Amino acid sequence: MAAEEMGKWVQDRRYAVVNQRRVKPIEHNRLKGKPLSSQKGQAEAFFLVDDKGNWLVLKKFHRGRTPDRKYLIEVGSLLPRYPGFTCGTDRQILSKGTLAKTKGCYYSAELDRWLDNTVMMPKLNGFDWTAVADDVRDGTMSLDTMQRFALCRNLTKLVELLEASHSSHRDLSCGNVFIDTQTWEVYLIDFGSFHHPCLTMPKVTTCGTEGYTAAYAWNNGNLDASKTWCRGADRYALSLLNTEFLLVNRGTKATSEGGIFDQNELKSRSGRGISSIIGKLKAQYPPAAQLLQRAISSGNCKDCPSPDEWNGFFKTAGVAATPVSLADMPEPSVARISGILSRCRPAAPLWSAPALHEMSAKTPQIPERPSIIPQIVDLPADPWTKKKAEHRSIFRRPKS
């Protein structure tokens, strides 16, 4: 349910000055007086527009799910500087006092407090893979082979860049992969589970999204976030998403969050659904089927196919990667986004990490310091001793 503070703001209809920017919430076109918003994982996202017509997203974490403020700020500085990560690099972490008292603009002390630790970021062109896949399923959109491979290549490029910077997103899913359907560029959103060696794992980090979480993320029946707190943690979900890009077609059934994999089958590494997906992939792209099978059977992140291996498949597939635009695609609008957000799908459970005190601490093994016995070494005579004596004799005064 939308926050009461946002409801008051949208009904006021005035801009507010937030971080020196005039913005106001967008009203839901079906629910008058209510802000346009989307419940997503550990937060609710509200849509804003500034006085120049640019759309933004205001992310408010649910109670008890807000990551440490220092962590939120550091993530933005550690992400690669590449367009696909703009929602992480160009975002602003708001705090109490960022709502200015400006004549003619909306202000309330309650909203100012509510904005503390919210994240304001630019809204991307296009839609998440959940919405695009639904359009493909119902026939609203069709993807040709070149477009499918463009999506695969562009997502693989982002994972490759993350690994090159020793980091990982850790929650790749159909809801966190955004697609510009005019250019087929891919963007990642929601960096609340981001990993980097210099960061401490947050207490509220997630273990993944249903339908995209590896079997090895479980430890004695419980999800263990430390299993994916590492470089290369995105490889498993990359294989699943690339498979979806290649296979989702009209009539393809969606499971849970909106993907095509059943989480219980992924956990057991087998099932009728997985067998059917591998069979379809094998019929069209046998090398890709082998990569998917490796990911599903993997025992850790390193066992999963790397971005380089996926790139090798793209090269051998012989499909051009030139994106093809869809001139007849409808422009993003309040009505279209409202319709997408109104689609009924059971909410997938949010898997949080166990408390740090519940996790077994690993004792570091420090190797013993080797004992070194000093050796006595005989040095040769100084070859310059004779030379020095000769130089002194040259300048010596003659005897009288």
pLDDT over 80 (residue 331): no
CB 176 within 8 A of CB 209: yes
pLDDT for 113 equals 94
> Burial, 255: exposed, middle or buried (Cβ in 10 Å; 0-12, 13-18, 19+)?
middle
Residue among 241, 207, 227, 212 at smallest CA distance from 350: 207
- Each residue of 58-94: pLDDT tens digit? 999 888 778 888 999 999 999 999 999 999 999 999 9
Could you tell me the CA-to-CA distances from 29 to 26, 123, 205, 336 in Å, in that order? 9, 18, 34, 10
Quote the radius of gyration of the chain (alpha carbons, Å).
29
- Read off the pLDDT band of 30 (50, 70, 90): confident
- Each residue of 92-132: pLDDT tens digit? 999 999 999 999 999 999 999 999 999 999 998 889 999 99
Helix residue ranges, H only, 205-341: 235-247, 263-268, 272-284, 286-297, 307-317, 334-341
What proportion of the chain, given as a percentage, has pLDDT over 70? 82
pLDDT for 347 equals 46
Q: What is the pTM of this model?
A: 0.78
Locate the domains of the chain by residue range. 1-123, 126-357
Main-chain phi, psi angles of 313, to 5 degrees:
-65, -40
Q: What is the DSSP string of 78-129?
A: HS-SSGGGHHHHS-EE--TT-EE--TTS---HHHHHHTTT-EEEEPPSSEEH
CATH classification for the domain delimited by 126-357, as one of 3.40.50.300, 1.10.10.10, 1.10.510.10, 3.40.50.2300: 1.10.510.10
- Each residue of 6-19: pLDDT tens digit? 999 999 999 999 99
User: If you average pLDDT over every residue of the chain, what do you get?
Assistant: 86
CB 223 within 8 A of CB 217: yes
